[in-house]
Structure 1
Amino acid sequence: MPMQSREVRLVRRPQGTPVPEDFALAVTEVGAPGEGEVQVRNLFMAVDPAMRGRMDDAPSYVPPFVLDAAMEGPAVGEVVASNDPAFAPGDLVFHRLGWREAFNAPGSALQKRDGSALPPQAYLGFAGMTGLTAYAGLLRVGGLKPGDVVFVSAASGGVGSLVCQIAKLKGHKVIGSAGGAHKAAYLRDELGLDGVIDYKAEPNLTKALAREVKAIGAKGIDLYFDNVGGDHLHAALALANPFARFAICGMISQYNAAGHVSPPRNLTLIMGKRIRMEGFIAFDHHDLDQHLVADMTAWHKAGLLKASETVYDGIDQALSAFLGLFDGRNLGRTLVRLG
C-alpha cells in the first residue's frame, strides 16, 4: 500500500533573504520500491547555510535546486523495504535526499552507517560532513601546528563549534566569535574557549579581537577559520601574525546580499604578512573520512566532545530551521527530526 510523504519544494528563486513564499509543502505517495530500489523513511535531515547558494540559478560546485521539486540535503534514515541485496529493512543509511519524509531510490544513492556505534544524527554532525569540514579545514587546509593561536568565526555553529573543540583538544588557545550573549556564554562556559567575542555587542570587531588576543598573552592569530567573511575577515587580517593561514569555509554574511559586496578594506595585508588564504570544500577531503570517524568516535566515547545541536520537530518546521541559520536562533548543527 502506498505511503504518504510530505516534502518541501522550492517554487521560486529567492531575491535576497528567502521568504516562506519561495517554498511549498507538498504531499506525495511513495509506492513499493522498484527493481534495485530501496525505500527509506527519514529520521533526521540537516540544513546548512550552503543550501542558500543552491536556491539561485548560478554556476557552482553543485547544481541548483530544481524548481517545483523536492529540495535535497543530507539526511539519515531507516530502510523500510529493499529490492537491493546490499540493504535490508532496519539498516541505517546516509543520503542526500532530505527535505522529505520518505522516498524510493537506487541503492547507489545510499550509504550504510553503523547505528550501534553512534546516535543516528551524529552522521549529520560530528561524524558526518559537518565534522569533515571542521576536521579537514583545521588540520589539512589550515595546517594546524604546535603553538598556533586559532580564531574561529560563527564559533557556536555546527562547523565552528567542532573546529573550536578539535583545536582545544589538541592543546591550542582558541578565540571564538558568535552573535548574542547566550552563544557567547556557550563558547565560554561549555566549550571553554580562551577568548570570546559577542560580535553583536561590539562596535568595532577588529578592536574586540585585538583585546582578546592581548588578554591571552598573544601577539596575534596564526590560524583563522572563516565561516562569515565581511568584518570578521577584516579583523582577522588586521590581527594576523606573519605567515598566518586562513581556511575559508564560508561567508554567510554575504549569502543573502542582493547587490555588490565590497571586499575587506585591508586585503592588501595578505602580501606584507605573507598570509596563505585557501578556500575549500569538504567533498575534496573524503580520504580523511576514516580518520575523522575514528577520532570523533573516540572523543565522543570519552565524553570529550559536545554535540551542539538545535533540533526542530517535523518536516513542516524545516523552513523555520533553515531560516534560523541566518537570524541567529540556532546553536550548533541544525537538524530536523522526521521519524
Structure 2
Amino acid sequence: MDIGVIRERGAFDRRVALTPPVARRLAGAGHTVWVETGAGDGAMFGDTEYIRAGAHIAYSPEEVLQRAELVAKIGRPTLQELALCRPGMALMAFYHLAVADRALVEALTERCLTAIGCEIIQQDTGRLPVLAAISEIAGQMTVPIAAHLLRSSSGGRGILLGGTPGVPPARVVILGAGAVGSAAARTAVATGARVTAFDNEPSKLRRVMEHVRGVETCLSDEDAIAEAVAGADVAIGAILVAGTRTPHVVTRAMVESMKAGSAVIDVSIDQGGSIETSRPTTLAEPTFVYKGVTHFCVPNFTADLGRSSSVAIAQAMLPYLLEIARAGVDGAVAGCAELARGVYTLRGLPAPGRRK
C-alpha cells in the first residue's frame, strides 16, 4: 500500500505523524512511504533520514495526497487538504469532530473519504492507546507550565510549586485522573506540590493512588470541587469524554472564587474545555487573564515538543497503520475492533454506530 505523510500546517506545530524509524517499519513490510519534503523538520527529522529509512520524498502535499491510499496526520486535515484527496482515501488524524466545523464533516462525506480518529481508537479495556501516548506528554508539560505561570513576572502569585523548608508548597487541583491527569499528578507530586486529583470513577483514583505516592484523591462532587478550586493555586482541567464535547466541571463562579494570581490550565480545551471560563488560545499568545486568574488554554500544546510528541504518536499509530496496509481499510475495520471504534466515516458514510 502507498502510505503518505504531509507537513503539519497548524501554527507552531512542529510534529510529524511518521518518524524515520516508523517509516522504516512500513517500508520493511513491503509498503511504499511518501513523505512531503520538510515534513519532519520541526521535529528535527531531515529528508535524508527518511530516504535512508526507505521512504520517498515528495515535493508538495498535492503529490503525497495523489499518490497515497492512506495518509497519517496529527492535526485534523484542512479543507484545502481534503480537496486534494482522491475519493476512497483513508486519513488517520486527531479529528476532535465534537468541536470541529461542520464543513469538515461535509468535506469528508463529499470526497467519500475514510476518517479514522486517533483520539477515539479504543481497546476493549476502554483505553485509548494513541491518545494516551500524547496525553502522557501533555500531563507532564502542565507542571512546568504551571510553575512559569505562578512566577511574579508572569503575573502569578510568586510562589514555588514545591515550596522549601518553612515555605508551604503550592496547591494543585487536577480535574480528571486519566492519562493526562495521572501524568500531571505524578509530575506535580515529584516537585513537592500538594496535589488533589478528582474523578468520577473510583478505579481511576485508586490507580493514581497506587502509582503516585502522596497524591490526595476525591470523587467528583460539585461542592468538593468548588472548595478545592477556591483554595488552589493551580487548577488543571484533564477531563475527557471520548468522542463528545467535554462538560464544564469548573464553573465561572468557581474560577471567580480563586485567588488573584492563580492559574488555570485547561488541557480539555481540545474537546471544548472543562472550565467554563476557558477559550482557545495559541502558542503565540498562550494566556489570558479573567478576574485575576491566568488561563492557559492552548489546544494541542504538545506541538511545542515536536520531537518527543512525534515519536510518541508515530509509535502508537504504527500497529494500526500496519494493519490497514496489510488488510486494506475494510479488512482492518472488520478484523480489528479497536480500530473500528476509531472510524468516523467509511468512504464518506458515517461508520456503523455513529449514524444518527
Q: TM-score, normalised by structure 1?
A: 0.45
More helix by percentage: 2
Higher strand share: 1
Provide TM-score, normalisation by structure 2: 0.43
